[in-house]
Structure 1
Amino acid sequence: MAGRDYARKPAAAFRDEAAGLTDRQAVFYRNLISIASALKSGDIPVDFETRDGTRCYLDRGCIKIAEHAGFISALADDANGTVSTIRLAWAVGG
């Protein structure tokens, strides 16, 4: 869930190093696939609200590790200078 101090950050602020596949990272990848499937898109918001109004955000460390692993495309800032979406590194079918 997103706390009060949560704010989007620029791509340069994502600093985690490459890492091996851990149980936590595997769950993160499965969740990304589930979100992409539900959205029918490889573009995934880094923060969102669930149907019940709960504010959530994707773990920045897991995002950066996924980028290093090639699971997602290179992080890029949006027009506001922050990362608002990530993109899976492959096409998502409908």
Structure 2
Amino acid sequence: MISKDYTILAPEGIHARPATALVRLVKKFKSGISLQKGEKTIQLNSMLNILALSTKGGDQVSVLIDGEDEEEAASAIDVFFTEHLTTPDHT
């Protein structure tokens, strides 16, 4: 399992456009991929799941990836988050 922490820098947070792009990206992988904010964890397979998490600018989230292609998925998701929403927290 791979876990990576991010701080959302986009002032509008994760809204419909990046949520849709994130779901499309996640569907390319066989691994189970989820997003955690505080005590709440959702699967990244539905735009509604992502929007229900209500992630705003300044929020800290963790991406959790578990499966046979987790390394490849982690790299792709890292690029997505870095380019579109965040800077990685190096922990």
Structure 1 length-normalised TM = 0.29
- Relative contact order (alpha carbons < 8 A, sep ≥ 6): 1 or 2 greater? 2
Answer 1 or 2: which has greater strand percent.
2
TM-score (norm 2): 0.30
